[in-house]
A and B are shown apart, each in its own frame.
Chain A
Amino acid sequence: MRRYRIITQTIFLVLFLFLFVFTKSDAENGTFADISVVFYIDPLILLSNLISYHNLNILFLFSLITVALTFATGRSFCGWVCPLGTLNDITGRLKKREKELVKKENLKIKYYILIFLIVLAVFGVNLAGFLDPLSLLVRSFTIIFYPLFNLLIHSVYDIFVAIAPNSESLPNIYSFLRTYLIENHRVYFSQSIFIGALFLLVLFSNLISKRFWCRYICPLGALLGLMGRYSLLKREIKPCNDCGICEVNCNGGAVSPKTDKENGSECILCMNCSSLCPEESVNFVFSKKPANRGIDIGKRQLFISAGTAVISYPLFKSSLSASPNFHNPLLIRPPGSVREDLFVKKCIKCGACLKVCITNGLQPTLFEAGLEGMWTPHLVPRVGHCEYNCNLCSTVCPTGAIRPITISEKVKTKIGTAHINKNRCIVYKEGKGCLVCEEVCPVPEKAIKIENIQVQINNNIRNLKAPRVVSSLCIGCGICEKNCPVVDSPAIYVTSVGEKRSEENQELLEQI
């Protein structure tokens, strides 16, 4: 059975990688694949999002399949399906183990984390995305491996083409890769070191103990563990010689030498025990016998973690970002984003939108949206503008934080407003022509108008054409900011004011 488990894990990991890599613009208005489908089978996201804002995409009901699977077979999702679990298995094998010390007490930590998340969700603070394994994986892959992958291919090509500048096939391969596999440019993310370090921590914690994350931290594992104790598939042990092979090889830290009491919630069905037992004493059988006992969480700790959540709630709600009078000018949300208070509830910080953004302009926030809004997407036009005929971020958002919108709706969705800093604008300060911002402005009636102005330079009056932003026409895409020749702190820049999704963050009398 162990072999079938490894084959299944490989299939799901490859499927995940395939979906991830091909979550990429197909040059028309779609993507080759959509990584966000993985969240539809994730009951933790279903639960936390339902609790925190009482509404969810119907497709999340697919996660009932995972629930049914768990009631039938226990935490097989963890052992057989979850791609993060598979990566943990792989890195866990880097260390040879004679003994596996499991502090059973620590197995409970993940349940406290789960309770903490659920209680906060009741109060409307949805933090599940930070620790949900699938969200963690998609986000980490987006922020670390996708830029690395792009960097690698671009750099290798640069080297090859320097060696063989006249090769005909190299540019063709490059062109093909840029169409189907990588971006046209190298990809950069803020906080790649931060998010990267956390992910490496998850992976290397497997050297301390196998599946460290899954055993001690994972709130999805905890949620499935609560159901797993009622599973029909049960582990049966015949009397044996107590050799302990099963205990050392157990991936979940579930096997105890004498008792088997944690088994119901901690066994992830890796089947190492049944496959490696020299006496073939272990078997997994379906039976309706009384339920397996799971780990005892303990009422006291349960109350402590719930209490911690209750106490931390006001901390979230009293931070500056929660104030209705505070509108962060840098918080330019992608088109289709819902109201900010809903956005931080809905967004699970998976980073699918960052992955699919063709200009690399969508970046993870740090504290721009408060602590609960950390790693949510915002547009940094200096890095990349919001491409006019593109709505891909809205199509891959699993939870509707970015509501799915059509291209025709998108091009009319104002996400901010451009402003001109005359102290930095080439026209005003140098007395030279420019109007690059006007040239690239994509709205049908240009939001940047040309004004005939006079500038005095060294006592000479020069007649010049200068740009002026018409706020009611500007959609805040930021292509002007991206292309402004004043490259460090651009003379034209976008802030969030005027964004369509907000009633308060407005400056004009007229209704747009």
Chain B
Amino acid sequence: MRRREFIKKSAILAGGIAFSGSIADTLFAQDKIPDLVVVRGKDIFKMVDTMFKSLGGIDSFIKKGDTVVIKPNIGWDRKPEYAANTNPILVGALVRACRDAGAKRVKVFDYTVNNPQKCYKNSGIKDEAEKYGAEVSYIDENRFRDVIIKGKVIKSWPVYRDVIEADKFINVPVAKTHGIARLTLGIKNLMGIIGGSRRKFHQDIDQSLVDLLTAVRPTLTVLDAIRVLTNNGPTGGDLEDVRRLDTIVAGRDIVAVDAYGCSFFQVIPADIGYIHLAHKSGLGREDIENLNIKKIEL
């Protein structure tokens, strides 16, 4: 219903202004907005623009005056080429897109495992995000607030206040292998917005993540598969383990994004515990073969 309304409005708007450009093309070319957009290319800024256009325009995500949280993976003190952290250019491009769309504030942060100053600096994310007007801050233990989750294993957990209070929350994971979870994608990336003794999640990683997902729903998930880490994740450190795919996958359904992400590792989504559990809990869809996926080569 919402989507239809939106398309209607957009169509009227687009018709009214008599667009002849590419935005109108993408809107009218298809009946409905795709569930997932997969963009492949070399120019990350162009990829981000195309992604937003295909998903119904950035205005369908960001309103003027919004406070937006962009949450990349900055967990490790590694240079961008090791694919242990989200690609800094991608973060910068997302910040720019949000600012251009009128976002009042764009905040970027992550709960790092290594020293935060080193992670922020050496990942390149601090510099890139600040270049386009983001507020990049280190995690401040005072800013966690207990959130009632009422999950199967997680009843309540401290979540970063800025995420709770944000108007929009854009989740920007990088695709990597991971020991206990097998893969770390969008849902696993949410570990970076929680406090407390996070390591205990590992004792029931799939259910814990799904419980968390019931309480925190990103507006949009953009999976960074520009470089993916295929072995020794999530820390990496060996360029032999990095594969360059020059791809981003985006969608409103974080489970679907993760399910698509499995294809980069030749894994079936149903084999990844938390994806399958999230699907079964109705938090999103792992059956990507039934979804409307738009693939774009730039």
B118 and A387 contact, CB distance less than 8 A: yes
Given A440-B235, A445-B232, verify A25-B118 contact (CB < 8 Å). Answer: yes
A389 and B118 contact, CB distance less than 8 A: yes
Residues of A within 8 A of B143 (CB): 171
Q: Which of B31-39, B47-55, B108-116, B288-296 contacts A (4 or more CB under 8 A)?
A: B108-116
Residues of A within 8 A of B59 (CB): none
Contact of A27 among B121, B200, B232, B237 (CB under 8 A): B121
Residues of B within 8 A of A433 (CB): 180, 202-205
Residues of B within 8 A of A179 (CB): 117
Q: Given the complex of chains A and B, what is the CA–CA distance between A442 and B82 in angstroms?
A: 12
Residues of B within 8 A of A290 (CB): none
Q: Write the nearest CB–CB distance from A302 to chain B, whole angstroms.
A: 52
Q: List residues 217-254 of chain B with CB under 8 A from any CB of chain A.
A: 232, 234-238, 241
Q: Given the complex of chains A and B, what is the CA–CA distance between A179 and B235 in angstroms?
A: 24
Residues of A within 8 A of B142 (CB): 157-158, 161-162
Q: Write the nearest CB–CB distance from B78 to chain A, whole angstroms.
A: 8
Name the interface size band of chain A.
35 or more
Q: Which residue of B lies closest to A442 (CB)?
A: B235
B137 and A25 contact, CB distance less than 8 A: no
Q: List residues 136-169 of chain B with CB under 8 A from any CB of chain A.
A: 137-138, 140, 142-143
Q: Given the complex of chains A and B, what is the CA–CA distance between A27 and B122 in angstroms?
A: 8
Q: Which residue of A lies closest to B77 (CB)?
A: A389
Q: Given the complex of chains A and B, what is the CA–CA distance between A436 and B201 in angstroms?
A: 10
Q: Write the nearest CB–CB distance from A439 to chain B, whole angstroms.
A: 5
Q: Given the complex of chains A and B, what is the CA–CA distance between A387 and B202 in angstroms?
A: 22
Residues of A within 8 A of B197 (CB): 485
Q: Given the complex of chains A and B, what is the CA–CA distance between A430 and B203 in angstroms?
A: 9
Contact of A445 among B76, B116, B120, B238 (CB under 8 A): B238
A436 and B117 contact, CB distance less than 8 A: no
B235 and A436 contact, CB distance less than 8 A: no
Q: Given the complex of chains A and B, what is the CA–CA distance between A501 and B267 in angstroms?
A: 44
A27 and B235 contact, CB distance less than 8 A: no
A436 and B237 contact, CB distance less than 8 A: no
Residues of B within 8 A of A432 (CB): 203-204
**A358 contacts the other chain (CB 8 A):** yes
Residues of A within 8 A of B63 (CB): none
Contact of B77 among A161, A388, A430 (CB under 8 A): A388
How would residues 170 to 189 of chain A score, 1 for a CB under 8 Å from any chain B CB and 0 otherwise? 01101100110000100000
Residues of B within 8 A of A387 (CB): 77, 114-115, 118
Q: Given the complex of chains A and B, what is the CA–CA distance between A485 and B140 in angstroms?
A: 22
**A84 contacts the other chain (CB 8 A):** no
Residues of B within 8 A of A484 (CB): 199
**A483 contacts the other chain (CB 8 A):** yes
B114 and A436 contact, CB distance less than 8 A: no
Which one of A174, A175, A430, A441 has the highest number of Cβ atoms from chain B below 10 Å of its Cβ?
A175
B179 and A438 contact, CB distance less than 8 A: yes
What are 12 A-to-B residue pairs whose CB atoms are below 8 Å? A25-B117, A27-B122, A161-B142, A171-B140, A175-B140, A178-B138, A432-B204, A435-B202, A439-B178, A441-B235, A483-B113, A485-B203
> Other CB < 8 Å A-B pairs besides A27-B117, A444-B238, 11 of them?
A25-B115, A25-B117, A27-B118, A27-B122, A162-B142, A171-B137, A433-B180, A433-B205, A435-B180, A436-B202, A442-B237
The 4 closest A-B pairs by CB, nearest first: A444-B237, A27-B117, A444-B238, A435-B180
